[in-house]
Structure 1
Amino acid sequence: MTNTVLVTGTSSGIGLATAVAAARAGWRVVATMRDTSRSGALVEAAKAAGVADLIDVRALDVTDAAATCVDDVVAEYGRLDAVINNAGAGHVGTLEQESIDDIRGVFEVNFFGVLNVTKAALPHLRAAQGRLITITSVGGVVGQPFNEAYCGAKFAVEGFMESLSPLAAAHGVRVTVVEPGAVASEFVANVGFDPAQLEAAGPYAPQLRSYLERTRNAFDGAQTSEDAAASIVDVLTAEKPAFRVQTSDAARTFSGTKLSDLDGSVVQSLTAGWVS
């Protein structure tokens, strides 16, 4: 029997590459996205990989209740063996220059969207003794200037999943968070940064300029979406996956900075250099 995995945010980037890679590994992939009119790139990639028959594209906005989509998948395929929470949105800004509603919107997609899908899927994952995989970020471990809202949401996801993991494991569900570093994907282009913000940043303009220059340099050597997807599929297929997985050596080094920094001084010194 073919195992079934639901992947969110598959119209581009890591989600698209993960859907194709999971299908190549023999999984039935329910590839979801908010707007299925954007499925062309995924469909073409699936055809090129010879796995179009294993990919089922469906509409799912993670900020809405996900139960209908999940229940329909189980009704059609008989079970749900894994979920990969990938959908998310980048964001650049700082608190003094933003509204609280702006920040709520970042949490709605990156945190509550994950919870919506997870809550709907958990009963079925328990029944299948399945996998719950959530794509977070090194930004879920190391707080970064001008990423307060995004990192805050990813920190929340990591804390939530770390807390949920032992309880889920007691019922046969393995929980993993996957932390990419810089990945060359449309996610970078979709962070919602308006260049006009640089002019409107007031006292923070010099720091924002420095941050943007550092970030451009970081993404020059970014990992490909396909490389990141390979790490995710390794988690999907591993007999005993770890709770926390990074997708590259750079991500391991960066996350390790925080995880061994008991008083926070190393991280503060590192990120201060980004805005000076």
Structure 2
Amino acid sequence: MSDTAIITGTSSGMGLYAAISLAKRGLNVVATLRDTGRADRLRDAAQEAGVELDVRALDVTDHAAAAQLVADVIKDYGRIDVLINNAGQGCVATAEQLSMEQIQAQLDVNYLAPVNLTKLVLPGMRDRGRGRILTITSVGGVVGQPFADAYCGAKFAVEGFMQSLHVVAATFGVHVGVIEPAAVASEFVNNVERPADAGAYTPLLDAYLSRTAGAFANAQSPQSAGEMIADAAASADTSFRRQSSEAATAFVSVSLADLDGGRVQEFTAPWIG
């Protein structure tokens, strides 16, 4: 019997290509997206690749809907072997420009949603003694960046949750990990929330956005990132942390070896002036 995978956030970008790549490997792939009316690109890509996807609607912030989805997938396929928490949302603003509602929204999508789905699939994986849970975080889950206060805060949170769970779940044969992409050419940047008026922060924000535009102009392709995600899901390597590209590895290394915070400060300060 083929393994069954759930992957969130598959309307475009690396989530779309990860779903296709998993299906090419012979998995039953339940590809979720918030609005199935936006699934044409996903379905067209699946048809072109000669694979079948089970496309289902899921707003990852609706925890009751997530519970129903997991129950339905188990009913239809018998079990869930792989969970890939890919859905995410960006936000560009510094602390005083953010409402608490905006901060909560970042936590809802980037932290609480993957936590909830992880909790839902864990019991079955633990009972069977096998499973793989991968959460697509970001280099922003390792390196705090200017004007990414809420986004990086949520990504740091989900990395901490998954790293804490990693060693406990592994004792039951369930392998938990994170994948940290750098810039990936996708619609993610178009969906990033920005302040209408940056006020005193305008020159700093303009400098940051200029730098970010340059990074995305040289971004990793979504096909490459998606295939890397599928490779990680199928790999015998159970390392907790992976990056999706050499650029991402270089980026996170600045923080992972930064004992006093000075390296990150030197790294990011030029971005805003």
Deviations 1:104-149 (A, max 9, x none): 1111111111112111111122234110000000000000000000
2:120 matches 1:120: yes
Provide the secondary structure at the position in 2 that maps to 1:223.
coil
The answer for the alignment partner of 1:17 in structure 2 is 17
Deviations 1:59-82 (A, max 9, x none): 111111211100110111111101
Deviations 1:70-107 (A, max 9, x none): 01101111111010000111111111112111111111
The CA distance in 1 between the partners of 2:98 and 2:137, in whole Å, is 23
Aligned pair partner of 2:220 in 213, 218, 223: 223
Aligned residue type for 1:46? A
The answer for the alignment partner of 2:254 in structure 1 is 257
- TM-score w.r.t. the length of structure 2 is 0.97
Shift of 1:166: 0.6
2:154 matches 1:153: yes
Aligned residue type for 1:184? A
The CA distance in 1 between the partners of 2:21 and 2:73, in whole Å, is 20
Aligned residue type for 1:140? G
The answer for the alignment partner of 2:43 in structure 1 is 43
Segments of 5+ residues of structure 2 without an aligned counterpart are none
Task: Please list, as runs of the form range in 1=range in 2, the aligned pairs for 1:173-188 lying within 5 A after superposition.
Answer: 173-188=174-189
The CA distance in 2 between the partners of 1:167 and 1:148, in whole Å, is 30
Provide the secondary structure at the position in 1 that maps to 2:188.
helix
The answer for the alignment partner of 1:171 in structure 2 is 172
Provide the secondary structure at the position in 2 that maps to 1:167.
helix
Shift of 1:184: 0.2
Aligned residues: 270
Identity of aligned residues (%): 54
Deviations 1:203-237 (A, max 9, x none): 11110010000000111100011101121111111
Task: Please list, as runs of the form range in 1=range in 2, the aligned pairs for 1:73-222 lying within 5 A after superposition.
Answer: 73-128=73-128, 129-193=130-194, 197=196, 200-222=197-219
Q: Which moved more, 1:114-123 or 1:154-163?
A: 114-123
Q: Which moved more, 1:38-47 or 1:227-236?
A: 227-236
Shift of 1:240: 2.5
Aligned pair partner of 1:245 in 242, 245, 262: 242
Provide the secondary structure at the position in 2 that maps to 1:186.
coil
2:62 matches 1:64: yes
The CA distance in 2 between the partners of 1:61 and 1:96, in whole Å, is 28
Deviations 1:141-160 (A, max 9, x none): 00000000000000000000
Provide the secondary structure at the position in 2 that maps to 1:183.
coil
- TM-score w.r.t. the length of structure 1 is 0.96
Is the CA contact 1:107–1:153 (under 8 Å) kept in the aligned structure 2? yes
Aligned residue type for 1:260? A
The CA distance in 2 between the partners of 1:208 and 1:240, in whole Å, is 40
The CA distance in 2 between the partners of 1:60 and 1:20, in whole Å, is 18
Segments of 5+ residues of structure 1 without an aligned counterpart are none
Shift of 1:241: 2.6
Runs of 4+ in 1 over 6 A off after TM superposition: none
